[in-house]
Every structure is written in structure tokens, then in C-alpha cells.
Structure 1
Amino acid sequence: MSLYSRCYSTEEILDLIEYQIKYSVPLRNFNFVLSLVTCVVGLIGNAIVIFFNIFLMKKHKSKIWFLNLAITDFVSLLLLPLHAFAVLKGHWPYGKHICKIFLFVICVNMYASIFILIALNLSRVLSVAKPMFHRTFISQRVSQWICTMIWIITIFTSLPVLVFSGEFKIGEDRYCSLFCAKDLDDAALKPTFNLTEPLNLEEKVYLDVYNKFHYFCNGCTAEKCCGDENTLVIWNNIIFSLQCFTIPLLVIGYFLPFCVIMFSNITIAVQVQKSQTVNTHRLYKIVITIIIVYFVTWTPLILGEIILLAAVKNMNLVAMFKIMTFLPLLCNIAYTNCCLNPIMYVLVGRQTRAGLADFLSSISIRSN
């Protein structure tokens, strides 16, 4: 079966409309609330970490990693309201230039956060397993140079996002996408098939689904919705952009940091148990929490992207629309990692809590 020969009947389209009505509106509202909670909690937590590392933590070697990680998470969370309101509205209302900047900044911060997370965990495991080497060679200046190189690399490797991403129009709504698609002519969006049963569904959802079917199929008739040869251009662009995004995200953004986090934290736990100088029971809780939180927050999005890529390659529009309905929720779950990072890596530390307590006490004494 060629890519553009798959057809969808009126009944299949109506079934999808019912599915969208059932799940899309409740999910939009839930995603909006979750985004706001994640944004508020994450901005406060990362702001505390940034303040602490700049003004209170003077000599700690890990301050460079914590500071840069908090900055990446803080910037990502600043953009989260744009994503939240776009999901709530069901389309992108901010224009093509904001779309390009939004996707570029998100891409830069996502990979910068991942690489800094890897460097942080490797630095931590070296400080325990090879303390002399870490004390001699991993100075604050070296750490700052590594972070600078991470930022430079992620900025330059994310530049294609500015070129290929863009905004496209389906009907009266505009959408922000990693691939720059062509607008669909409004005149072509008028339904051309006859419904055999009275339409009891919401008109907006009906038109939205039909318009998207017409966009991706590019050849709807009275009985079915099929793709023609022009559809290949759209689908090849989608497949190319998804592969360019999903494969690096899967390898670099998931498996590599997950393996590093697993290896480094297990090594730290083993080394500390051998030394018998730290409360290992408390350490094991922190180690297990770090691994579980990373796995729980990122795995749903990774699985969703894999399913979406498989659906697009098979030109399965029904499966594609269904997984796209839940993708904003999966992105929000991954976003929660930005507000959990400062809690796991810094705020659970005794030195950080003691420093914050002393700072608050000094403010209280001055005010009195």
C-alpha cells in the first residue's frame, strides 16, 4: 500500500469527532491547571536555587552545575504559560516569529538541561569514587568552561529549528510546528460528504477534525477521505521532522542521561556504603527517588513520540489524532521534572537548607 492510498470513511471521521469531544476539552482544562502549578512551583524552587548559588554558596564546587541547571529549568518554565494557553485554546495564537523563538528556546534549554544533568552526575560520582582526581582537575573554572561549551553546542545544533519550524493554517486556526507547512485554502474546507445521520456533535470539533483530515488527506469526496499525490509532500515533511526530533530525543535525551543517572547514583551508593561514613539509608532513598522521578517524568513523552512516529509512517490518521490529543499532557508531565530538579539535587541537601535557614534568620533579626 502506497503512502497516499489509505482512505477513511465518514463513520471513522465521526468516531474520531466523538473521541475528541470526550477527551480533548477535559484534557485541555487539566493541562492548563497542571501547567500553571508546575510553572509557579518550578519558578519559585529554581529562583531559590539561583539566589542561593549566586549569593550564599561561595566555595562549593557543584554550584556551577546547580546554577546552570536551575537557569535552564527557570527559562523553560517562563515559556510554559505560552504552551499552556495555546493548549487551552486549541491553536497557536502568538504568530510565526514567537513560534520559531519558542521552539528554539525550548530545544536549547531541553538539551542544555540534559547535558548539564549528565555532567552533574558524572562530577558527583567522580567526587566519591575518585576524590583526589576530582579535587585536582574538576575546579570551578573547569566546570564553568564545560557549561559554557554545553550552551554553545546546544545553541548551534538547535539553529535548524529556526529554519524548519513555522506556523501553518488549517481553516481559521493556526498551529506551531517543527516543520514549516503550507496553509490550507479555506475554500477547500467546506465538507463535501453527506452525513447519513443528524449531527448531534459540537460543530467546532466537527469542523476542526474534518479540516485536519482534509489537510492531511488532501482529497475528500462524498464517501471517503483519501490522499492524493499532493499529500506526499505534507507527509514526507511530517515524517522527516518527527524523525529529526524523536530519534535524537530518544537516544540523547532519554537513554543516555538515564544510563548516566543510573550508573552514577548506584556507584555513589556503593562507594558510600563501603566507606560507612554517611547514613546510607537516607542516601538510598535519594538515589531511588532521583531514578524514579526521571523515569516517570520522561518515559510517557518518549513512548508518545514513538507511537506518533509509527502512526505517521503508516499514515494512520485516527491513531495520530488520538495520540496528539494526549501529547500536551505528556509534555506537561515531562515539564514537572523542571520543578522537581531543585528539590532533588539542592533543596534536599543539608548545606543548602542550613544556608537558607541562616539567611532567613539574619533577615528576621535585622527586621526586629
Structure 2
Amino acid sequence: MALSDDYLYHYDYNNYSYEGILTPNEEPVFQHKATCLKEALCVSLLVVSVLIFLLGFFGNALVIWISGFKMKRTVNTIWYLSLAISDFVFCGFLPFSIANMVMEEWIFGLFMCKFTSSVMFINMFSSIFLLVIISVDRFVSVVFPVWAQNHRSVKMASVTVVLAWLLAIALSVPSMIFRDVSTHLGTTICYNNYTLNHSHKIVVFSRLLAGFVIPFIIIIVCYSIIILKLRNNRMTKSSKPFRVMTALVAAFFISWLPYHVFVLMELNHQNYDHRILITGLKVGTSMAAANSFLNPVLYVFMGNDFKQRLKSSLLSKMENAMADEGRTTSRYLSRSSSMDARASTHI
């Protein structure tokens, strides 16, 4: 679930955002009054944020409970568990952003300003990296079954997850460095105070490459090769895997593209209408945050037939969805050709 270093679901401001607020004849107003509940866009985004929090928090909690406590520890359950934990933590911090959105003021102090932003970025990057890891793992299992059989292990998966989280932490350090709190015109805000030369551009482009461009390319390449592999298999009759893979790639692209577009526009904020820029960043972050509850749906519920899932309890079918994929991968590793046919239902 990756979001702006400037508007990471706090909808706050950079150090330049104070410019142009007052005209020479205006007097500063120090009595802050929140107007969010009077604006249609703000109310709509608020409703969306609450829904993302509820669906993402409880949906990912359910996945964590099943994959972490109800299932045998396998490579697949490690992927599901790590991804769910990432999205769960992200959703757990959304109430701070929701409160900030309603009050239009940051009331939680400097430490929480830095901490919440850093934690959200850690989970943004870790979630994206885990989506990439899942794509690569499926690619290796389908294209190199013998190698996967010899090297694909729970230990290797655990090490890979730890490395992904460490990289996510490293990329989130700028939030701890540049995040600051300031009171202006009677309003306390949590914002990014880019005081070093070109620091804003460096942070934006590094996060664009590491958090969108490179992961998207890897996901596209992996799933394209998997699709070609399955299409060339005469035993593969179902078109379902192609629809699922298309949904996975489309969800990633649609969720994150608007956010990154407006973050890039923000670098030259003086060339754009301030209201359009703010609105675009708010909508973009909402769309990106939606990935936090889409992930359990895409990676768990779409793996098996949804109608059959409705006929039994939610918990048992979620467990079956993850377990079936693990069994499918195992069968592929022992019999490559038959695995291609069975993978058409589960990948």
C-alpha cells in the first residue's frame, strides 16, 4: 500500500506551501477553523479513507491470522503473511491521517509527525517489494521448476523478506530527516522541510524509480513470460490465469500512476494551479492507499472460484485459496508439464 513524501495521507505541505497564502492587504488569521466536512471532495476522500482503513485493517488481519496461525509454514504463506503485515501496519496508522484530514491540523507532535510518515513509507515500499517478490517467485516456479525444487525453501523466503524490509527502511529514512512541524496562521502542520539543495528532487526521483518504475517493469516482465509459457502449453485451456494476471498488473499501475504523476508535477509547483495540485495529490494518495485492501483480494480471493467460496465459510475458503496454490506449485516442481495445466487455475 506507496505514499507521497509530501502528502503521505496527511495531506500536508512542503516548506514552499506557505507562499501565496496572503496578499499584501490581508491580515493573518490565527483562529483555525476546519472546513473539511463542508467540502464535497474532502468528505468523499474522508469516506474513502475510512473504508480503506476498515477493509484493509480487518481484511489483512484475517489473512495474518490464517497464514500465520492456521496454516503450515510454507514459502507461499510467508509471502501472504509478510504482505498482509505490511498492509495491516499501513492501515493501522491511517487513523492519524484521518484525524489530520478532518481537523486540517496536526496535533500529534514532532515525533509522531516523523514516525507515522516513516512507518507508512516503510510499509509502502515493503508492500511493493513483496508484490515484486511474489511475481519473481511465480516466474521461477513456472520457468525454472528444477531450480525451484532444489532452492525454493522457507529459509530462503524468510531471508528475502527480511532484505526487502531492510531496503524499505533505508528508503524511508528521508521522512525521518525532513519531516517537521510548524505553526502558521494559527494552524500546526506536519510537512516536509527540504532545506538541502536538490533534496526534494533526489527523494522524489529515488522513490519514483524504487517504488514504481523498476517494480512495475519487473512485474510486467515476470507475468508476461508466465503468460507466454502457459499459452504455449496445449494443456492450458482456461483463460482465468490471464485475467488474474492482467488484474494484478492493472491494479498496481492504476493505483500508483496518478500519485507519482502529481508528485512529479509538485517539483514545479509554481507552474500549476495550487488547487489542482492539492486535489490531485489527495486523490492520488487515496488511490495508492487502496492497494492496502486490494492486495488480499487479488492475491487470495482471485486464486480460486469465487462462487464455490461463497458456499462455505470465509475462513476455510481463504485457507484453501492459499493452500491450493502451495500444492499446485509443489506438483509443478515434480511434474513440469502437468503443473502448467494446474497453474492455470491458481496463478
| TM interval, short-chain normalised | 0.7 to 0.9
Question: 8 Å contact 1:31–1:84 — kept in the other structure?
Answer: no
Question: 8 Å contact 2:63–2:296 — kept in the other structure?
Answer: yes
1:97 aligns with 2:51: no
Task: Give the TM-score of the pair, scaled to structure 1.
Answer: 0.71
Change (3 A) 1:7 1:274: closer
Q: 2:81 pairs with 63, 67, 74, which one?
A: 67
Read off the aligned partner of 1:95 and give its amino acid letter: G
Match of 2:292 in 1: 338
Change (3 A) 1:337 1:328: same
Q: Please give the residue correspondences for 1:249-288 in structure 2 after superposition, counting only pairs within 5 Å.
A: 249-288=207-246
CA distance in 2, matches of 1:51, 1:277: 36
1:50 aligns with 2:64: yes
Change (3 A) 1:256 1:242: same
- Shift of residue 108, structure 1, vs aligned partner: 0.9
CA distance in 2, matches of 1:328, 1:160: 21
- Shift of residue 333, structure 1, vs aligned partner: 0.9
Read off the aligned partner of 1:143 and give its amino acid letter: A
Question: 8 Å contact 1:304–1:323 — kept in the other structure?
Answer: yes
Identity within the alignment, %: 24
Q: Secondary structure at the match of 1:348?
A: helix
1:323 aligns with 2:277: yes
Change (3 A) 1:39 1:134: same
Question: 8 Å contact 2:105–2:188 — kept in the other structure?
Answer: yes
- Shift of residue 360, structure 1, vs aligned partner: 4.9
Question: 8 Å contact 2:113–2:190 — kept in the other structure?
Answer: yes
CA distance in 1, matches of 2:88, 2:225: 29
Read off the aligned partner of 1:350 and give its amino acid letter: N
- Shift of residue 158, structure 1, vs aligned partner: 2.5
Q: Which runs of 5 or more structure 1 residues have no equivalent in the other structure?
A: 14-20, 180-235, 362-368
User: Deviations 1:73-131 (Å, cap 9, x if unpaired)?
Assistant: 11001111211221222222221111111011011111111111111110011111111
CA-based RMSD of the aligned residues comes to 3.3
Match of 1:155 in 2: 169
Match of 2:248 in 1: 290
CA distance in 2, matches of 1:105, 1:323: 25
Change (3 A) 1:176 1:125: same
CA distance in 1, matches of 2:45, 2:20: 32
Match of 1:177 in 2: 191
Read off the aligned partner of 1:323 and give its amino acid letter: L
Task: Give the TM-score of the pair, scaled to structure 2.
Answer: 0.75
- Shift of residue 331, structure 1, vs aligned partner: 0.6
Read off the aligned partner of 1:325 and give its amino acid letter: T
Q: Secondary structure at the match of 1:66?
A: helix
Q: 1:122 pairs with 130, 136, 143, which one?
A: 136
Question: 8 Å contact 1:27–1:326 — kept in the other structure?
Answer: no
User: Deviations 1:284-306 (Å, cap 9, x if unpaired)?
Assistant: 11011111111111111011111
- Shift of residue 244, structure 1, vs aligned partner: 3.4
Read off the aligned partner of 1:66 and give its amino acid letter: Y
Match of 2:50 in 1: 36
CA distance in 1, matches of 2:182, 2:231: 56
Q: Which moved more, 1:100-109 or 1:343-352?
A: 343-352
Question: 8 Å contact 2:255–2:287 — kept in the other structure?
Answer: yes
Larger radius of gyration: 1
Question: 8 Å contact 1:243–1:309 — kept in the other structure?
Answer: yes
Match of 1:199 in 2: none
Q: 2:150 pairs with 129, 133, 136, which one?
A: 136
Change (3 A) 1:239 1:171: farther
Match of 1:247 in 2: 205
Question: 8 Å contact 1:87–1:328 — kept in the other structure?
Answer: no
Read off the aligned partner of 1:69 and give its amino acid letter: L
Change (3 A) 1:64 1:7: closer
Question: 8 Å contact 1:31–1:329 — kept in the other structure?
Answer: yes
Read off the aligned partner of 1:132 and give its amino acid letter: V
Question: 8 Å contact 1:262–1:291 — kept in the other structure?
Answer: yes
Change (3 A) 1:357 1:132: farther
User: Deviations 1:252-281 (Å, cap 9, x if unpaired)?
Assistant: 111111111111112111112222444431
Q: Secondary structure at the match of 2:106?
A: coil
Read off the aligned partner of 1:348 and give its amino acid letter: M
CA distance in 2, matches of 1:87, 1:159: 24
CA distance in 2, matches of 1:106, 1:289: 25
User: Deviations 1:189-234 (Å, cap 9, x if unpaired)?
Assistant: xxxxxxxxxxxxxxxxxxxxxxxxxxxxxxxxxxxxxxxxxxxxxx
Q: Which runs of 5 or more structure 2 residues have no equivalent in the other structure?
A: 1-15, 27-34, 318-347
